[in-house]
Amino acid sequence: MTSKQEALLKPSSTEEKVDEKYSHRRFGRKPTNEKENGIANKVAHGGFTAHGYSDFSSSRKAMLMSIAAFLLYTIIGTVVFANWVDGWSTVDALYYTVATFTTVGYGDISPVTPGQRVFGIFFAIFGILVLGNVALGIVFDQLINSFQKTQSDSKKSSQDKFMSKFDPESRRNSLSNINVNAIEDEDENENSETSQSLSLSPKQKQKQWLRLILTNLALITGGIIVPATIIGIIEGWSVIDILYFASITATTIGYGDLSPQTLSTRLI
């Protein structure tokens, strides 16, 4: 190996500071072993995103947990509805469970009795708002991370081709400056967010959360529950039917077993 090649491969003091800064961001301290040092290097050079999953195994574990939760949800729905609703086979219950989870809501089969509809309210909300958001969140996060990594690799490849025209010393210094500038920009954003977070006292944070909860409740009440109540009163529905209609409408399932029948309620 020539002296120029050794100089190119040997990290500069600036590059070491880059990896050390990413190590502090990832672990809160300097790396203490080879594994932590490798992770810090991967984060520094585009292997992982700073705010994404730490490694593939953790993202895979989260994905497996989501799949297990979905299977458990499907089994519970199938067993409960197959044994509770008269005339439903196991296939019918499974069909209804999947149609609910995916918010398709064909409406050809649906709960009939008040008790079944009360269970259906919680079953639909839990499946869509909890399981659906978690599973889709992980999938989209993986897609975004993959896109960012591909973009980062492409950018690094273009930089390498461009910098290969220069001598090793200029190339090393230029790449180090690019990394340092990127980190400084990201640090400024993080410091700004951190200072805003720290500036809020616990009471202020509680008030902020309470205000957010009350705002969402007001939107749900004004936009869904109140119109559903008016429609239900005009149509002669029970309280359970009104709540059932509101929840199935809010989750966009729309089975069609309960729907406005008059011109006035359809206008509402």
Do 155 and 205 have their domain in common? no
Q: Is the predicted pLDDT of residue 4 greater than 60, yes or no?
A: no
Does 159 fall in a domain?
A: yes
Q: Is the predicted pLDDT of residue 218 greater than 70, yes or no?
A: yes
Domain edge (last residue) among 110, 145, 165: 165
The pLDDT value recorded for residue 87 is: 92
Does 248 fall in a domain?
A: yes
Q: Which helix (H) or strand (E) holds 225?
A: none
Do 225 and 125 have their domain in common? no
Do 230 and 138 have their domain in common? no
Contact 79, 87 (CB under 8 A): no
Average of per-residue pLDDT values in the chain: 73
Nearest Cα neighbor of 116 from 147, 153, 87 is 87
pLDDT, tens digit (0-9, with 9 covering 90-100), for 229-255? 999 999 999 999 999 999 898 888 989
Q: Is the predicted pLDDT of residue 117 greater than 90, yes or no?
A: yes
Do 96 and 149 have their domain in common? yes
Does 191 fall in a domain?
A: no
144 to each of 22, 53, 55, how far by Cα in Å?
Answer: 21, 11, 15
Top pLDDT among 184 and 263 is at 263
End-to-end CA distance of the chain: 79
CA distance 129 to 81: 20
Structural domain boundaries enclosing 127:
55-165
CA distance 14 to 17: 5
Full DSSP string of 125-177 = HIIIIIIIHHHHHHHHHHHHHHHHHHHHHHHHHHHHHHHTTS-HHHHHHHHHH
Domain edge (last residue) among 121, 150, 165: 165
Top pLDDT among 173 and 212 is at 212
The pLDDT value recorded for residue 86 is: 92
Does 128 fall in a domain?
A: yes
Q: Is the predicted pLDDT of residue 1 greater than 70, yes or no?
A: no
Q: Is the predicted pLDDT of residue 16 greater than 70, yes or no?
A: no
The enclosing domain of 223 has a CATH number of 1.10.287
Give how many domains the chain has, as a whole number.
Answer: 2
Does 171 fall in a domain?
A: no
Q: Is the predicted pLDDT of residue 102 greater than 70, yes or no?
A: yes
Do 160 and 61 have their domain in common? yes
Do 81 and 156 have their domain in common? yes
Share of the chain above pLDDT 90, in %: 25
Q: Vertex 81, ends 73 and 135: CA angle to 5°? A: 20
Most confident segment among 20-34, 56-70, 96-110: 96-110
Do 209 and 257 have their domain in common? yes
Does 37 fall in a domain?
A: no
Domain edge (last residue) among 165, 190, 215: 165
CA distance 152 to 110: 49
Do 71 and 155 have their domain in common? yes
Do 91 and 135 have their domain in common? yes
Does 15 fall in a domain?
A: no
Top pLDDT among 60 and 97 is at 97
Contact 220, 250 (CB under 8 A): yes
258 to each of 80, 96, 111, 238, 244, how far by Cα in Å?
Answer: 22, 16, 11, 11, 9
The enclosing domain of 143 has a CATH number of 1.10.287.70
Does 242 fall in a domain?
A: yes
Please say whether the dihedral angle defined by the alpha carbons of residues 106, 108, 113 and 116, taken in this order, is positive or negative: negative
pLDDT, tens digit (0-9, with 9 covering 90-100), for 164-179? 665 555 555 555 555 5
Do 205 and 160 have their domain in common? no
Amino acid at 166: F
Do 159 and 260 have their domain in common? no
Mean pLDDT of 17-44: 53
Count of beta carbons in the 10 Å neighbourhood of residue 94: 18
Q: pTM value?
A: 0.55
